[in-house]
Structure 1
Amino acid sequence: MTNNALKTGGMREWLLADTPESSFQAWAGRAYLGLGAFMKNRLAVLGLLIIVALIVIAVFAPVIAPYDPVETRIGNRLAPLSSTHYLGTDEMGRDIFSRIVWGSRLTLYVIGLVAIIAAPVGLLVGTVAGYFGGIVDMVLMRITDIILAFPKLILALAFVSALGPGIENAIIAIAITSWPPYARISRAETLTIRHSDFIKAVRLQGAGGLRIITGHIMPLCLSSLIVRVTLDMAGIILTSAGLGFLGLGAQPPCPEWGAMTAGGRAYIIDYWWLITMPGTAIFIVSLAFNLLGDGLREVLDPRGGN
């Protein structure tokens, strides 16, 4: 930002300048407009606040949780909601509030690793298929179609059954079933821009396919990919909880929300809080990611929001 811009108009005018003096100024202007549009969506802001709260809770879980999440206290089993146990205790006498707080770490661990694994794989497959076309496109997209033909939870169950129960194997299984939609989106974006004038100009300068894909096409696909990943977080959470509910995800006594609901199903009539509290946590976090994803879609992908 130049001193002249500061003197004549201030920060806002500099951000909204019709003729940016640098690429950073242009990027800052777009970010400012996008932030303004996002802040107008109150539901999206609410979703963001819930997710930020989830991250804070996960980071400070040892401070927030009043009890050890895995320590059993048989003499205090199935205690109702009280000032001592805010959300009651489970069939082993463990504090449900503490287990939900510590379970937030597992939730973020799962969705973070799945996003880190699945999104780059889908982006690479989609951009390569869209750019090269022909036999490469046909082979990669048929593999994508085969995976998409199966319901995500059923396919994840098959992979976990083959790999064995456990949180790491559950993450691998969910990631394997999550990348095809990202590949489809990336391929569609690539098909619309691969014959653009700036791509032809880069190719005439001697750039190879790998450089064009990684340096020019992938960055243009990121906005749509971010929106889709955010919207898919709810599905990832539900799939992880489903695997935990069936005993194929995190293993006892790990405080995983899906496993907690499975443990409380035998007591649902008389001790409703055992299944209601972790189920509510799953619902709130899933809803938050959906609200955030809708808000990001309006800002980053206006075509998808109309």
Structure 2
Amino acid sequence: MSQSSLQTTPMTRRQWLMSDRPQSRLQARLGRAYMTWQRFSANKLAVAGLCIIFLLILIAVFADVLAPHSPVIGNLGGARLLPPGSEGYLLGTDDQGRDILSRLLHGSRLTLLVIVLVAIIAAPIGLLVGAISGYAGGWVDAVLMRITDIFLAFPKLVLALAFVAAMGPGIENAILAIAITSWPPYARIARAETLSVRNSDYIAAVRLMGASPFRVVLRHVMPMCVSSLIVRVTLDMAGIILTAAGLGFLGLGAQPPLPEWGAMIASGRRFILDQWWVATMPGIAILIVSLGFNLLGDGLRDALDPRESGQ
């Protein structure tokens, strides 16, 4: 064996990921993801937010196993409005004798369902509208942005109330109404990102290669907007939760006996002075989950911001 081969040391996994001369696209993507995770994990509050969201997902998945009682069937005879810790009810019971802890655990499924479906519906719509508007320009940009301005002119909750009132109460209509009112900020962000890259050499080279405008927008412009959109969607999750809870509080969201957190607060407001736990426990759940998404969004914003990469 030659002397040079003896002196050659194998490259560690971290060195391979941090290499400034990647040998493949896979290595480049993995290295970029690793550096993003390094910046994200350095923010302890962001990691705490990620843990809260991960815990929410686990609770939603294993709610049937974790819940000690039925979330919809109560004991009116002997378990009505019991305080926390009484007779095996850790967080107490409501006016129907139902275990509040079990209702909170199952209600996490509804909360997660609203968050995921609103993001799936609203984010792609906003991304598509913003990318088309920014790339096309002219009258297309003017028309799409004026429509966006109309939606932005109304408070989100008021506009969602109008849509739900027109379509009728229910969790499905509430999700659709929240999604309809949530896409305009994403369109604004996507348009701003598109305007910044529309005249770049990279896009000009793609056009010179014969790519159609649709392909340019779909394959080359929209992916450039995804990182900013992910941050905004994550930060908007708290607002989505509050809007859904507001609709449930007014009786326009999930209908009884579904354990929706906003509806639980509405049913407990009559007992807020004497049996405070009925409305307080779901309120604390909304606070914790909203805080988790805000912390996660702040961490993602710092990790995905290109200006932070050199620090």
Same fold (TM over 0.5): yes
Report the counterpart of residue 299 of structure 2 in structure 1: 295
SS at match of 2:122: helix
How many Å apart are 1:9 and its aligned residue? 1.9
Corresponding residue for residue 3 of structure 1: none
Unmatched 5+ stretches in structure 2: 1-7
Matches within 5 A, 1:1-306: 7-75=9-77, 76-82=79-85, 84-303=88-307
Mapped to 1, the partners of 2:42 and 2:56 lie a distance apart of: 22
Q: How many residues align?
A: 301
Give the greater-gyration-radius structure (CA). Answer: 2
Q: Which residue of 1 aligns with 2:4?
A: none
The percentage of aligned residue pairs carrying the same residue is 67
- The answer as to whether partners of 1:297 and 1:304 remain within 8 angstroms in 2 is no
User: Does the residue aligned with 2:254 lie in a helix, a strand or coil?
Assistant: coil
Q: Give the secondary-structure state (helix, strand or coil) at the position aligned to 2:119.
A: helix
**Structure 2: distance between partners of 1:72 and 1:172:** 31
Tell me, which stretches of 5 or more residues in structure 1 are unaligned?
1-5
Cα displacement (A) at 1:7 = 4.9
* CA 223–51 in structure 1, closer or farther in 2 if over 3 Å, else same: same
Which letter maps to 2:176?
I
CA distance in 1 between partners of 2:117 and 2:307 (Å): 29
Structure 1 residue 8 displacement after superposition: 2.7
Distance in 2 separating the partners of 1:55 and 1:198: 40
How far is the alpha carbon of 1:302 from its aligned partner? 4.5
Structure 1 segments of 4+ aligned residues over 4 angstroms from their partners: 302-306
Once residues 13 and 122 of structure 2 are traced to their aligned partners in structure 1, the CA distance between those partners, rounded to angstroms, is 39
Amino acid across the alignment from 1:225: L
TM-score by length of 1: 0.96
SS of the equivalent of 2:257 reads coil
